[in-house]
């Protein structure tokens, strides 16, 4: 894996924790309107996406909330989700495993054509990884915006 990609994954790992710092379960379930996602829904989606990235790149590790996540199709179903503390705990579990797994992928694997299509010009496994890591950044930014709308201070970039 490219060193720069590892840095972004490590940064997102910390930013996920930072953006959820101070978010209560009550706030996490709130939606600013009927068209928006809740913080809890986005946090669960990010956790699910980390497991997806691991599986996409050949690691068969399974999310303990996999069956539950399948039942949640929209923010309206957020009450079915585990509470934020469980999502954060599982994020802390998968993150080092994922980074270590990606770090050891051989270049031959990274340069293979992806069997999945992502909206990116690079159609290799590495291109898919790049898209999925950017996808994380996008949703972390959404949570940062939502926390401000709920009256919380801006997300910190420092370690919490």
The C-alpha atoms of residue 88 and residue 151 are separated, in whole angstroms, by: 21
Mean pLDDT of the chain: 93
Show the domain range for 8: 3-149
Task: State the total domains in the chain.
Answer: 1
36 and 140 Cβ atoms separated by less than 8 Å:
no
Q: Do the domain assignments include residue 59?
A: yes
Higher pLDDT among residues 83 and 76, named by residue? 83
pLDDT in tens, 87-141: 999 999 999 999 999 999 999 999 999 999 999 999 999 999 999 999 999 999 9
Q: Do the domain assignments include residue 30?
A: yes
134 and 118 Cβ atoms separated by less than 8 Å:
no
Proportion of the chain above pLDDT 70, given as a percent? 99
The C-alpha atoms of residue 76 and residue 96 are separated, in whole angstroms, by: 31
Q: Do the domain assignments include residue 116?
A: yes
Which CATH number characterizes residue 83's domain? 1.20.120.450
Q: Do the domain assignments include residue 159?
A: no
**Which pLDDT band, with edges at 50, 70 and 90, does 4 fall under?**
confident
Q: Do the domain assignments include residue 158?
A: no
Q: Do the domain assignments include residue 156?
A: no
**Which pLDDT band, with edges at 50, 70 and 90, does 1 fall under?**
low
**pLDDT confidence of residue 45:** 94
Number of H helices and E strands in the chain, helices first, is: 7, 0
Q: Do the domain assignments include residue 77?
A: yes
**pLDDT confidence of residue 2:** 75
Q: Do the domain assignments include residue 91?
A: yes
Residues 153, 155, 157, 160, Cα dihedral to 10°: 80
């Amino acid at each position: 894996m490219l060193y720069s990609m590892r840095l972004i994954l490590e940064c997102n790992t910390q930013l996920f924790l930072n953006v959820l710092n101070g978010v209560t379960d009550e706030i996490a379930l709130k939606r600013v309107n009927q068209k928006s996602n809740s913080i809890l829904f986005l946090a669960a989606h990010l956790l699910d996406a980390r497991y997806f990235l691991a599986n996409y790149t050949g690691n068969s590790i399974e999310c303990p909330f996999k069956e539950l996540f399948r039942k949640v199709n929209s923010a309206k179903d957020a009450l079915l989700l585990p509470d934020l503390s469980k999502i954060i705990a599982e994020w802390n579990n998968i993150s080092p495993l994922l980074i270590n797994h990606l770090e050891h992928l051989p270049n031959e694997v990274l340069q293979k054509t992806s069997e999945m299509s992502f909206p990116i010009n690079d159609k290799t496994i590495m291109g898919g990884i790049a898209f999925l890591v950017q996808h994380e950044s996008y949703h972390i930014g959404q949570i940062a915006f939502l926390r401000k709308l709920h009256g919380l201070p801006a997300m910190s970039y420092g370690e919490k």
